[in-house]
Structure 1
Amino acid sequence: MIPLRLSELVRRSAPRYTSYPTAPQFGPSVGPREHGAWLRELAGTSAPISLYLHVPFCRSICHYCACTTKATRRDEPIVAYADRLRREIELVADRAGRLPVSHIHWGGGTPNLLPPDIFDGLVGDLRERFDVRPDAEHAIELDPRWVTREGARRLKASGVTRASLGVQDFDAAVQHAIGRPQPFETVRSGTEALRAAGVAALNFDLMYGLPQQTMRSVRATAQLAASLGPDRIALFGYAHVPWFRANQRLIEEAALPDPSARLDLAETAREALQAEGYAPVGIDHFAKPDDALHCAARDGGLRRNFQGYTTDRSQILIGMGPSAVGKLPQGYVQNASDVAAWSRAIDSSGLGTAKGVALTAEDRARAAVIEAIMCGFETDLAQAARTYGLDPRIFVDDLAKLASLVDQEFVRIQGWKVEILRDGPALARIVASAFDAYLGAGARHSLAL
């Protein structure tokens, strides 16, 4: 038997599994009519839900970005978008009722491009149309280059409790290669402004696998990030998908580290963050040992959704804005990604839904298996199957896909239990993909690490 090297295994591609089925399986069979009916069935729900609002604008587009966003130097398109988002909040609430809310998350794009008075108005609409709990987590993704002391104070006054800053890398050569000039002082200034305003819960996003990165530079970036003391740090692998995002064609593929070098970069950054006192969480997150995210991972309560790893226990996520994804008891829905198409739908007093997927019992069982692997590197197939009234033998063929990993002691299978024995962060997506019944149905994915 030829030994399997980890550097060879991570050359495989696999979804990121922030949902199952994954977004490529969403289709037009679920549209505004189905989404509206699903929302109406939520009326009277007592368990708290989550809200996600997508702001699809930036001042410029970074070369590496794979988010649904567009560049604008003017505020007019942002204001017009906000008017329609207020209308979408109304349309959703008219169907679902005044549901209790435990989590609000603003993503993008660059949500802090919203003028403060407009952001305040949107938050006011959410509080009017939904029952936002006093202890709700209210999180927002921020571009540090657009964080000001006054802006931070306005965010706090609107009820924001957590901010996530896009750092990516502190090395000047890397920043030039990815089209994102952002000195360390800029991030430090934004961090200080948020803390001074009372937004104390802070996350940083870092990336590895970028052009011009070296083990020395990623170690330095990790150390500098840790020196600012964020509660949580996400360490994402750059997903080079130029067939999906045209702006990534500005990055020459030849300038990217190969899978072996990419693995070295990831491990170097991980080691540096742990040396700075951060505890690993899942495949790509780190947290201070007393942070709720690490506690959830330690106690088996970690969850994974479209925002990554989370302590959010809500089973219902309502997404609003272009490209926003929602998860309801019946299935997943996604709004039109194109701002114009979404706007037309909202203007016609309809929902912006473009596609989705209704969940089967087997989908739910496989989703539970995949989430368990992604969160804790192990799963009980029998328990997942029986929870949804299925026979665990539906997984027999999937187990066979793991034979080579078992033979070389990367994975252990005991009865219906599967456990990753080593290199969990690197292998979790690969092991999870063995239980993906849709994999290979035409979609292309990024490298598994």
Structure 2
Amino acid sequence: MNAEIIRRYGESRLPRYTSYPTAPRFSPSIGAGTYRDWLATVPESDPVSLYLHVPFCRSMCWYCGCHTTITQKDAPILDYLTVLKQEIKLVSKAIGRRQSVSEVHFGGGTPTIMTPDEFLDLTATLNKAFDLGDAAELAVEIDPRTLTLEMSEALGQAGMTRASLGVQSFDPKVQKAINRIQSAEQTGTAHANLRKAGATSVNFDLIYGLPHQTVDSAIETARVAAAMRPERFAVFGYAHVPTFKKHQRLIDTAALGDAHERHAQAEAIAATLCEAGYRRIGLDHFALPEDSLSIAAGRQALHRNFQGYTTDNASTLIGFGSSAIGRLAEGYAQNDVAIGRYANLISSGELATSKGYRLTREDRIRAWIIERLMCDFQVDFGAMPDGFDLPDESIGKANQPLQTLVADGIANWHGDTLRVDTQHRFLVRTVASCFDAYLGETGRTHATAA
């Protein structure tokens, strides 16, 4: 990517497009009653995915953009788990049966902040309310600094198949600047224990663009991490949005690199992982060739949801916990972000939906286009699903923002197929944004494009 392209586009702030429309478009007009109606229409023959949000950590990582709360006490966690189990039962009742499940994902926060017994009790509640079966994938996000051997064993007992470990950077200077001290040895021990417990697929999260991070330190982190041989990596650019995440004000902005430095770090990590035998998947993932993510990418069968790139093709995603977002055929539904309000609603026997979005036909078309661009770096307008068509001036070659990108060589046309140029792959969100009818309406600050 040349310097002029980075100058023109690299500092643009754009959504990550883990959904379309994006969450800032959600409205309070979608409440508990609407969500309950949607749940009642979930097809019995269509397995669903479940996401459970556990919004607690023992300490705050200053780069964090998640909805989480810091607690040194166990009582708030226990209270929350009690409510979470009530919500699971309420949702199952609204569906009207013990719905089959293809995938369960525990996110946060730090889901493994629970004790082993608490985690097993929570998964037992899930199993009573939903049909997980033997084929369901069970994925857990993990902080290696606090993972115990006993918790690893409990995860295995619960049926964990995938684990995602936060690494970010092994550079001590960077770790101090983001308030996350974590050795490679800690990470390696956690990884080994999870393997012994039954994890067949492990992901490491890395971040570029952190304070004091350099190309050399990014390469060294990627080299050390790749030597542990997880199946996957997710490599994200740090999004500095202190207006929305006040703890990010503790990060020295003078220590953050510009768009050129961020891009150099991202490319250095990519090159290191590729040299170690990983394939580039989508915008920011890497996987070993035999991993299911690589196989799906080769078949152009990748999908994208709130957890990033996935092989999960369930049409329904049900979110549990404060701030959790669900995706159903009719649209999106999000629980109240505030833990107290969420708990009060569920405890009263009501669903905790505070906002959402009802999809229009045009939304579905644009969502399909954006997902294919984000997953495949191309979209064939001649192969759009039946009923998906829009006027050329609205979405095709006459799209003026897109025409500018084509003129700059960032994207190009091959017949009816729009492709993102390989050397400009980190600007795929910029190309996708050309099909976002709502971009710029909400005033929300997003991550930089490169």
User: Aligned equivalents of 2:11 and 2:189: distance in 1?
Assistant: 38
Q: CA deviation at 1:404?
A: 2.6
In structure 1, the residue matched to 2:407 is 407
In structure 2, the residue matched to 1:90 is 89
Contact 1:302 1:310 in 2 (8 A): yes
Secondary structure in 2 matching 1:73 = coil
User: Aligned equivalents of 2:242 and 2:206: distance in 1?
Assistant: 20
User: Aligned equivalents of 1:278 and 1:416: distance in 2?
Assistant: 31
Contact 1:142 1:166 in 2 (8 A): yes
1:314-393 equivalent positions in 2, closer than 5 A: 314-384=314-384, 386-388=386-388, 390-393=390-393
User: Aligned equivalents of 1:318 and 1:68: distance in 2?
Assistant: 18
TM-score by length of 1: 0.97
Contact 2:30 2:358 in 1 (8 A): yes
User: Aligned equivalents of 1:360 and 1:368: distance in 2?
Assistant: 13
1:71-150 equivalent positions in 2, closer than 5 A: 71-96=70-95, 97-150=97-150
Instruction: Indicate how the Cα distance of structure 1 residues 417 and 209 shifts in structure 2: closer, same or farther if over 3 A, else same.
Output: same
Q: CA deviation at 1:415?
A: 5.1
User: Aligned equivalents of 2:416 and 2:361: distance in 1?
Assistant: 18
Contact 1:284 1:425 in 2 (8 A): no
User: Aligned equivalents of 1:421 and 1:443: distance in 2?
Assistant: 28
User: Aligned equivalents of 1:385 and 1:400: distance in 2?
Assistant: 24
Please tell me the residue identity of whatever aligns with 1:48: P
1:129-278 equivalent positions in 2, closer than 5 A: 129-278=129-278
In structure 1, the residue matched to 2:54 is 55
Identify which range, 77-86 or 131-140, moves more after superposition: 131-140
Q: CA deviation at 1:405?
A: 2.2
User: Aligned equivalents of 1:393 and 1:315: distance in 2?
Assistant: 30
User: Aligned equivalents of 1:280 and 1:58: distance in 2?
Assistant: 31
Identify which range, 261-270 or 382-391, moves more after superposition: 382-391
Secondary structure in 1 matching 2:14 = coil
User: Aligned equivalents of 1:410 and 1:353: distance in 2?
Assistant: 40
Structure 2: gaps (5+ residues)? none
User: Aligned equivalents of 1:424 and 1:41: distance in 2?
Assistant: 42
Contact 1:235 1:284 in 2 (8 A): yes
Contact 2:30 2:355 in 1 (8 A): yes
Secondary structure in 1 matching 2:135 = strand
User: Aligned equivalents of 1:281 and 1:396: distance in 2?
Assistant: 26
Please tell me the residue identity of whatever aligns with 2:142: L
- Deviations along 1:31-77, one digit per CA (max 9) or x if unpaired, are 111001101112x5211110000000000111000100010001110
Contact 2:278 2:288 in 1 (8 A): yes
Contact 1:345 1:352 in 2 (8 A): yes
User: Aligned equivalents of 1:351 and 1:91: distance in 2?
Assistant: 7
User: Aligned equivalents of 1:415 and 1:35: distance in 2?
Assistant: 42
Secondary structure in 1 matching 2:435 = coil
TM-score by length of 2: 0.96
1:427 paired with 2:427, answer yes
Contact 2:322 2:337 in 1 (8 A): yes
Q: CA deviation at 1:397?
A: 8.0
Q: CA deviation at 1:84?
A: 0.2
User: Aligned equivalents of 1:118 and 1:420: distance in 2?
Assistant: 46
Please tell me the residue identity of whatever aligns with 1:60: S
In structure 2, the residue matched to 1:297 is 297
Q: CA deviation at 1:149?
A: 1.5
User: Aligned equivalents of 1:378 and 1:228: distance in 2?
Assistant: 33
Q: CA deviation at 1:3?
A: 9.2
Secondary structure in 1 matching 2:235 = strand
Instruction: Indicate how the Cα distance of structure 1 residues 366 and 398 shifts in structure 2: closer, same or farther if over 3 A, else same.
Output: farther
Please tell me the residue identity of whatever aligns with 1:106: F
Secondary structure in 2 matching 1:387 = coil
Q: CA deviation at 1:98?
A: 1.3
Contact 1:377 1:424 in 2 (8 A): no
Q: CA deviation at 1:380?
A: 2.5
Q: CA deviation at 1:396?
A: 4.4
User: Aligned equivalents of 1:333 and 1:425: distance in 2?
Assistant: 31
- Deviations along 1:242-286, one digit per CA (max 9) or x if unpaired, are 111111111122210011111111111111111111100000000
Q: CA deviation at 1:153?
A: 0.8
User: Aligned equivalents of 2:398 and 2:343: distance in 1?
Assistant: 42
Please tell me the residue identity of whatever aligns with 1:444: T
Contact 2:222 2:273 in 1 (8 A): yes
User: Aligned equivalents of 1:175 and 1:198: distance in 2?
Assistant: 30
User: Aligned equivalents of 1:201 and 1:390: distance in 2?
Assistant: 40
Q: CA deviation at 1:399?
A: 2.2
1:20 paired with 2:23, answer no
In structure 2, the residue matched to 1:443 is 444
Identify which range, 310-319 or 7-16, moves more after superposition: 7-16
User: Aligned equivalents of 1:84 and 1:285: distance in 2?
Assistant: 34
Identify which range, 416-425 or 201-210, moves more after superposition: 416-425
- Tell me the number of residue pairs that the alignment of Structure 1 and Structure 2 aligns: 447
User: Aligned equivalents of 1:120 and 1:392: distance in 2?
Assistant: 53
1:26-65 equivalent positions in 2, closer than 5 A: 26-42=26-42, 44-65=43-64
Secondary structure in 2 matching 1:163 = strand
User: Aligned equivalents of 2:396 and 2:147: distance in 1?
Assistant: 52
Q: CA deviation at 1:101?
A: 0.2
- Deviations along 1:179-216, one digit per CA (max 9) or x if unpaired, are 00101111011111111222231110000000011111
Please tell me the residue identity of whatever aligns with 1:68: H
Secondary structure in 2 matching 1:145 = coil
Q: CA deviation at 1:320?
A: 0.3
Instruction: Indicate how the Cα distance of structure 1 residues 73 and 398 shifts in structure 2: closer, same or farther if over 3 A, else same.
Output: farther
Secondary structure in 1 matching 2:218 = helix
Q: CA deviation at 1:423?
A: 2.7
Instruction: Indicate how the Cα distance of structure 1 residues 3 and 337 shifts in structure 2: closer, same or farther if over 3 A, else same.
Output: closer
